[in-house]
Amino acid sequence: MTTPTRKRATAAAAVLGTAALVSAFAAPAQAAVLSPSFITPTDGAKQINLIGFNDFHGRILNGEKFAASVFEAQKEFGEDSSLVISNGDAVGASLFESSIQQDQPTIDLLNAIGVDAWTQGNHEFDKGIDDATGRLASATNGPDLAANVTLADGSHPFDTHAIFDVGGVRVAVIGAVTEETSALVSPDGITGVTFGDPVEAVNEVAAEITAAKSADVIIASYHEGAPKSDAPLDENQESSTFRSIAEDTAPEVDAIFNAHTHQTYAYDAPNGASTRPIVQAGQYAENLAQVVLTVDAAGNVTASDSSIVPVYDSIDPATLKPDAAPPKNPAPIEYVNDKRIIDIKAKLDAAIATADVLGAEVIGTQQGDISRAKTFVPDSIEMAEDGSTTGVVAEGGQDNRAEESSLGGIVAQSMLESISDTGRFDVDAAIINPGGLRADLLDNDGQITYKEAATVLPFANNLSVVSISGAELKNVLEEQWQLTAGGEVPSRDYLQLGLSDNFTYAFDSSRPRMERIVSLSINGEPVSSGQVYNVAMPTFLAAGGDNFHSLNNAESVKDTGLIDLDAFVNWVRAKTAAGSTGVVPDVQRNGFEVVGLPTDNKFQAGESYSLKVAKFNLQSVGFIQSSSVTVWLGDEQIGIGSVDVAADANLVDVSFTVPVDSTVGDGTLTFLADLSAASVAVPVSVQAAAETPTATPGPTVSVTPTATVEPTASATAAPVPTADAGDGALATTGADENAMFAAIAGALALLVAGGAAILLRRRAGSDA
């Protein structure tokens, strides 16, 4: 196989050589993020071309396009004047095709591309220090760098830096990993390992290089970075971690590459009387960070240019499927027949074929279909006696992201339990975006294979724990009714989050935006606005992805070191352990629509009310169709509504009278769907019954007291929700409001047989 010519590097844990001198030069404007083209050389100037990427995470399915992009970035300057740097997390949290083979396909790809320096990221330590310094380090072609990692005896298990000859310029690259690594990986694998302050470590090595005069240019490669993409420098410097990198890194360092936070930015940041580039290229082989430094005859940096360039989205447009959208950023046609690309494709094809074989491993069992939400053909639903259904999925209705699904609940629950089981994080609940679920888990033979799990969660997203106030958590649910950052309604105007079993809520889509969530509960307790909750979710969502902007207002975001696929696979295995039932479909919906509640949730004893309850059924394959919804005040049933399946199987009218003798004060109104046993609770305030008026005595001497006048119940009618373009409001239906008590007797019999306490439990063990 032909590989790019590699520059000769001097790697050292101790320092050798010549000082790097930084001269003042005019500060270029901040580079445009996501520039459409690579930087080209300046005629007559001595320049070095630095190409960086970060958080590759085994994205080998993008391998050919990524390789072509690197080769194109090198072309104008030449390979001898270019340096390719991996800034950490090249492996770990990888796609199935790579992770199932211990990420060897990823290392083979990056070696073939010609990566020169490999800074360690936290995921390089996923399998422990011995694996990082042994198997991984021996597999990479370049030096492995981590200046801030030391062993118990004070020694460095990795090179602190490496020195390269780049077009006749001596370039030192110093690597450092996030100081939080010890909290992101299993403690058992890093016993005796210290992850020190990365800036202090870089500065110490930079001082030694300067004193020894061993390099002309010094580059810092931090597997750490800023919290936001394309934000002003001062805004990102509100992060103390990033501020330390930007302001405290020694002035001898000429350029800084970042990673770890998966953000995209290119700054010309102040550096004494001059400036220096600070760049990060995002994630997942999506972009390259290019830094070009102009160097004078004495080796001093006199100018810089930097940019973030998207990776090509196609090598050969002729190979695209007929219905595929045309590529927006195709590679130059010359790469179709480039031998380097052809060889890389052959290796990747072999790795994918091997993964298909390994993916046949059975990881567990299931008892029924577990699917994403569907759009069913009208009138195609057939219901069995137990409420289970069959139906015909409409064309294009395989992935209805506006409805709650069985699969979303299952995956969210797996995240909650998997992260909690590490013992490193206190987690209150979990959420997942519907777009993260890419396939159904259908029960074809009762078995779940590794490949089937991987097709459900193909992105290998890291899992984060987001600490967020109850007020902002409510706002996150409000943002299911979508708005872009610019305040516009996107093409998908509603996205339904999947929630862990213990996280429920009620909403009213007829209310104004950001006022639609009327209650939310975790572990059966109302969420308090001022309390901070720890919520597990994929990193994509934690960064405010899919227009869930309020997540950017979190108190903190912590990377768990786990990825969604690994967590799900291990969870499935645990559910299938000896004596367990395997994975059982989630049939209970977490969010009900309740329309007609008083704005202040105040109910008066003795008064009657009429509400509409909707969206109490899931819309997944085999969902349970409930026949009635009961209303409970505390542990007393006070109302019932029968579902008119012919009119609208997911809408019911319920009327009830608050008992005159109800306890005055705070209470809970619970809505319970009978066959699925799904329920949501709404905190309410019960007001005392109105005083009973009596007749005024007449003027006669002999009077007979008049009879007590009973108060007339005045029913408060619920408004019928109207569709608000794109807001996901309920449509007006033809449900018969006069038949709402038709099934009271049957429901009461069910209550007596099953017990109110049992019916009101949402899921067995969900509060554990």
- So what's the pLDDT on residue 760? 38
Domain ranges in the chain are 33-354, 362-575, 592-696+704-760
φ/ψ region of 3 (left if φ > 0, alpha if ψ in -120 to 50, else beta) reads beta
Q: Tell me: the pLDDT tens digits for 195-247?
A: 999 999 999 999 999 999 999 999 999 999 998 888 999 999 999 999 999 99
Whether the Cβ atoms of residue 56 and residue 106 lie closer than 8 Å to each other: yes
- Among 100-114, 384-398, 563-577, which stretch is predicted with the lowest mean pLDDT? 384-398
Position 743 confidence tier, pLDDT thresholds 50, 70, 90: very low
At 594, which helix (H) or strand (E)?
Answer: strand 591-595
Pairwise CA distance, residues 131 & 189, whole Å? 9
At 117, which helix (H) or strand (E)?
Answer: strand 117-119
Whether the Cβ atoms of residue 266 and residue 226 lie closer than 8 Å to each other: no
Select from 87, 439, 456 the least CA-distant residue to 285. Answer: 87
CATH of domain 592-696+704-760: 2.60.40.10
E strands, 422-571, in order: 429-432, 447-449, 462-469, 498-499, 503-507, 517-522, 525-526, 532-538, 556-563
Q: Which superfamily is assigned to 362-575 in CATH?
A: 5'-Nucleotidase, C-terminal domain (3.90.780.10)
Pairwise CA distance, residues 127 & 189, whole Å? 6
The contacts of residue 728 (CB under 8 Å, 6+ apart) are 402, 480, 481, 493, 494, 509
Question: Does residue 723 carry a pLDDT above 50?
Answer: no
Considering the chain, what percentage of its residues have pLDDT values greater than 70? 86
The contacts of residue 606 (CB under 8 Å, 6+ apart) are 657, 658, 659, 660, 689, 690, 711, 713
- So what's the pLDDT on residue 413? 98
Gyration radius (Cα) of the chain, Å: 31
**b/e sequence 44-82, b meaning 16+ C-beta within 10 Å:** eebbbbbbbbbbbbbbbbbbbbbbbbbbbbbeebebebb
Q: What is the mean pLDDT of residues 400-409?
A: 96
For residue 426, give Cα distances in angstroms to 104, 460, 502, 532, 570: 34, 22, 15, 12, 19
- So what's the pLDDT on residue 748? 34
Q: What is the mean pLDDT of residues 102-124?
A: 98
Pairwise CA distance, residues 593 & 615, whole Å? 6
- So what's the pLDDT on residue 302? 97
Tell which CATH architecture fits domain 33-354. 4-Layer Sandwich (3.60)
Question: Does residue 392 carry a pLDDT above 50?
Answer: yes
Question: Does residue 44 carry a pLDDT above 60?
Answer: yes
Helices (H), ranges, 173-259: 181-184, 198-212, 233-236, 240-243
Position 325 confidence tier, pLDDT thresholds 50, 70, 90: confident
- So what's the pLDDT on residue 543? 86
Q: What secondary structure does DSSP assign to 360-403, as a single string? A: T-EEEEBSS-B-----BPTT--EE-TTSBEE-PBPTT-S--TTS
What DSSP character marks residue 605? T
- Among 38-52, 344-358, 463-477, 708-722, which stretch is predicted with the lowest mean pLDDT? 708-722
- So what's the pLDDT on residue 759? 34
Q: Tell me: the pLDDT tens digits for 340-384?
A: 999 999 999 999 999 999 999 999 999 999 999 999 998 899 999
Position 420 confidence tier, pLDDT thresholds 50, 70, 90: very high
Average model confidence (pLDDT) across the chain = 87
Q: What is the mean pLDDT of residues 118-140?
A: 97
Query: Which residues, in sequence order, are bridge partners of residue 303?
Result: 294
Pairwise CA distance, residues 336 & 660, whole Å? 80
- So what's the pLDDT on residue 394? 84
